Amino acid sequence: MADAGQRISFRRSLAGRLLLWGILPMVVVSASILVVGATSRYQALRAAAEQMLQDGAELAAARIEDANNNAANLASTLAGAQVAGLLGERRQSLLLLAIVLERTPWCRAVFYAYEPNADGKDADAAASGVPIEARTPAGRFVPRWVRDFTRGGAIRLEALTEPESDPGYALALRRFRQSGTTEVSIGDPHAEGDDRVVDYVAPIEIDGRFFGAAGVERSLRDVDALLQDVAARDRTRAFLVAPSGRVVTAAGEFTGDVVGAEVRATPYAAHLRRALDSPADSTTIERDIDPVTDEEMYFVTAPVGTGRWRLVLARPTSTVTGPIRDEVIQLASVALTGLGVVLAILVALAIRYSRGIASAVRLASRVAEGDLTAEMKMDAPDGSEAAQLGHSLCLMTRQLDRLVSEVKRAAIRLHATATQVAATSAEQERSA
């Protein structure tokens, strides 16, 4: 009887067991799933964002390569015209250059530069009707048609003085002498007045002999505009570097005055050098610290096949991972809120049902202690097992109470009868 009302510890109680062995494991498993899901979501979104960075760099590099291809193909076509029979036809060559320049608005200049007396007509140049602006004093054929952007794009003829000192011509001549290549040579950017241009020069080769070169000069204005557009997005820095180790052009914050400078002389020397050493057929991406701002950056390098240039885009990682992190946190918050609501409902149900069981236990303990008089209010949901158990115990208590009452009344009647019998017997004895 002493153990009937013994208090049950929380750990051994129904509510405790439900919380410890049911709800708590569910919370742990759900939280683990949430963490794994959020981590996977973050990594997937970051990988997608990094791929978008690479795709953007490849798209910009492809546009630059298309422009390079157009200029290189034009130079190769001009050289091919000389090989096909235009060599020595100076007046027709002049006309061809003028027509080409007029019909290619992206082109700044076109030129032919013969080797001295390559066509055997230097001595008769003055008498041939070729303008003096198309030849040297010695008669060497070096016409150069130039577009003057300061005069609405009007073209004018001038002589390419000292071709051997021209970077593009000198590069094509040197490469031909070294390897006999007739591929188009792409020079480093150089200044032409207020403009910066790149030379595309193709050798004029006939039967293994170098007769001169055809050249196209392209302004970098379109490339500058492209990089400025790219750099305007999310604090991006953009660099275009040539295999010679010089910066073709650059745009964006903190790039400084690096245009035309050697890579090693720029604050981004290490990154740009790695870019030049990167694969020529694939885009690379890495995370590193910006040497100017000390913030973590994505450095994306995309190859420009024609010219073997490298386009390098540097973008703060915070502009990429920040929105992703915010999205994942928002999703996790919604999931945690839902989990909290479910947890609260389960805990409330567990406590409510355990209270019903506890009420039934207290009622049974009072019955076991012999208390059959008190009415017990059941704290359990109507219709539940705990409620039915409590109601059954209450009914049993009332039945026991009735039975005990009847026994007591019978005992009283029996006692009264016994008393009466004893009194009658005593009276009879006295009468006798």
pLDDT per position as a tens digit, 21-32:
777 787 787 778
CATH class of the domain defined by 224-316: alpha beta
Q: What percent of the chain has pLDDT over 70?
A: 86
CATH number, domain 87-219: 3.30.450.20
Range with the lowest mean pLDDT among 85-89, 97-101, 274-278, 372-376?
A: 372-376
Question: Closest Cα to residue 306, out of 61, 69, 75, 57?
Answer: 69
Is the overall model pTM greater than 0.95, yes or no?
Answer: no
Mean pLDDT of 228-232: 89
Q: Are strands 190-192 and 195-206 parallel, antiparallel or unpaired?
A: antiparallel
User: Which pLDDT tens digit goes with each residue over 109-124?
Assistant: 999 999 999 999 998 8
DSSP state of 112: E
CA nearest 271: which of 281, 279, 263? 263
Q: Where are the alpha helices (DSSP H) in 264-384?
A: 269-276, 318-368
**What's the rounded Cα separation, in Å, for the pair 213 and 269?**
34
324-353: pLDDT as tens digits = 777 778 877 887 888 788 778 877 776 776
Average pLDDT over residues 68-85: 95
What residue ranges do the domains of the chain occupy?
Answer: 14-43+322-420, 87-219, 224-316
184-206 pLDDT, tens digit each: 999 888 888 778 899 999 999 99
Distance of alpha carbon 199 from alpha carbon 203, whole angstroms: 13
Let me know if the fold of 87-219 is the same as that of 224-316.
yes
Range 36-47 burial, b when 16+ CB lie within 10 A, else e: eebeeebeebbe
The 3-state DSSP class for residue 19 equals: helix
